[in-house]
Structure 1
C-alpha cells in the first residue's frame, strides 16, 4: 500500500537559521500519528511542508503517493484536511455554520461556487456525524471556541480528505470543552471511512490511545519516533524534556505528565 507520507533526509533552513534537520519519517495507512514538541521545535514548519505550503531546502517529500516537484500541489492540497485556530481569523464569521462547512468542499474561504440544498444537507450531515446537530444553522460568530473547532473539523471533512491534520486543536479551550472535542475526535477515528489523522500538540494529556504512533520533535530534529507505548514513558520523556517528571496513567488510557 502507498504510504500516507514519506520524508527522506528533509532539512529546512532560512538564512543562517536551521529549522529542521535530516527528517526521515513515514506514515503508513491505518496509522494515526501525534507530533509532540515544545514551542520552537519546528512543528509548524513540518506541517506546512506536508500541506505543500513550504518546500524543503534538502531532501524529498512524498505525500499520498505524490512526490514534490512532480505533482500538482493545489490538487494534492484538496486531499488534505487542515484544522487550525489560525484558520478562524480568515473565515467569514457572520456566515452560518452550514455554509462555512460547505466551503470545505471547494477548499475556499467563503462560497463562490454554485451549490444547492443537497450540498447544504451534506454539510449538515457531516456536522451531525460529529455530534454537532445543535449547531446547525447558527451563526459562526456566536459559537464557543470548542464549537468553532468542531465546525473546522466538519469543514475539513467535506472534501473527504485522505489525511486530516489537527494543528493543536485544543488550543484556547477550557478543560470541559477540551474533553468534549477530544471525545469527538476519538469518535471520528473509529469510523470506517475516516482519514488518517495527524495531530500536533505540546500537551501529552491530549494524546489519546487512538494515536498509535508518536514523533518527538526537539530543536528541529526527530528525538525519537515509534509506537506510542514505547515512547510515552518516564525514561523517554525525561530524556526528551531533560527534566525530572512524574507520569500518571488516566482511566482513558491517556497520560498526565508533571514536573517532579
Structure 2
C-alpha cells in the first residue's frame, strides 16, 4: 500500500483544516485529488510529504508510519513532488539539464558531481519529456510549460515510488496544457510507472489513466472511488451545490452548469 490514512485531522491556529480523512492508495493505482480552492488539498499534500503532522489520526506513506519511524528526508526522497511553490525555489541561472540532474540528490541546485549514469538518465528524461532542445537554456528563459516539464523530469530522476503533480497545468495555454498532459499520460502508462496523484480543480484535465478520484470539500472527503462513478451528474451537482451536466470526451469529463 502506498498511502493509508485513517481518520486524519489537522488543526491550524485553532481551526480544523482537515477532518477525518480516510484514504487508501495501492501500488500501481493512479488517483486524482479533486477539490476547489480552499478545500484543503495543499494541507493534505503537506501531510503526505511529512511537512506537517496530523493533529489526530494515523498516516502511513510508502510503508512508513508517522510517529513510529524517522521520516522527513528519507521519505521525501521516495516522493517526486511537482508544485508551484517548488518552481520558485530554483536559481534562475541554472539550466534545464542541471535542474533535472539535481533530482538525483533531492537538492535545490546542483552541488554534487553527478555520475555518468546520472547524466545519461537525465538526458533520457530530457528526450522523453520533449525538453532536449532547451537542455542548456537557463530556467528563467523557459516558458511555464517548459518549466513544468523540467520539474517533472527532476521528480522522476530519483525513480520515486510516488509522484505528486500539484496543479501542474496552472498558467498554461490550451496547447501547452495538452502537451503536458500527453507527457503525464506516457509516464502513467509505462510499465515501471510510479503511483501518481494528480491534484486539480479542472475536471477536463483528468485523463482516463486516472481511474480513481478522491473529492475533497471543506477539509473533508466528500466521496472517493472510481473516476467514472465520481463524475456523475448527481454526485457533481451535490458536490458543487448547483445542477450541472457531465459530458465525457475521449474518456475525460467536462462539467457544465445547467
Alpha-carbon displacement from aligned partner over 1:114-143 (angstroms, at most 9, x marks no partner): 224443232111121223322222222211
Structure 1 stretch 195-204 or stretch 132-141: which is displaced more? 132-141
Q: What is the aligned partner in structure 1 of residue 21 from structure 2?
A: 23
> 2:78 maps to which residue?
79
| Residue aligning to 1:189 | 188
| Distance in 2 separating the partners of 1:186 and 1:58 | 35
Structure 1 residue 24 displacement after superposition? 0.8
Q: Secondary structure of the equivalent of 1:106?
A: coil
Aligned to 2:212: 213
Q: Residue deviations 1:36-80, cap 9 Å, x none?
A: 111111000000100111100000100001101122221111000
- SS of 1:222's equivalent in the other structure is strand
Cα distance in 1 for residues equivalent to 2:135 and 2:117? 15
**CA separation in 2, counterparts of 1:136 and 1:157?**
16
Measure, in 1, the Cα distance between the counterparts of 2:191 and 2:131.
19
How many residues are paired up?
Answer: 257
- Aligned pairs for 1:39-78 (under 5 A) are 39-73=37-71, 74-78=73-77
In the aligned structure 2, how far is the partner of 1:126 from the partner of 1:113? 19
State whether residues 11 and 23 of structure 1, in contact with CA within 8 Å, keep that contact through their aligned partners in structure 2.
yes
In structure 2, distance between residues paired with 1:125 and 1:138: 17
Given the alignment of the two structures, is residue 144 of structure 1 paired with residue 135 of structure 2, yes or no?
no
* CA root-mean-square deviation: 1.1
Supply the distance in 1 between the matched residues of 2:119 and 2:133 (Cα, whole angstroms): 15
- Residues 99 and 120 of structure 1 are in contact (CA less than 8 Å); yes or no, is this contact kept in structure 2? no
> What does residue 229 of structure 1 align with?
228
User: 2:231 touches 2:246 (CA, 8 Å); kept in 1?
Assistant: no
Runs of 5+ in structure 1 lacking a partner?
none
In structure 2, the partner of 1:6 is: 4
The residue aligned with 2:254 is 256
TM-score by length of 2: 0.97
Structure 1 length-normalised TM: 0.96
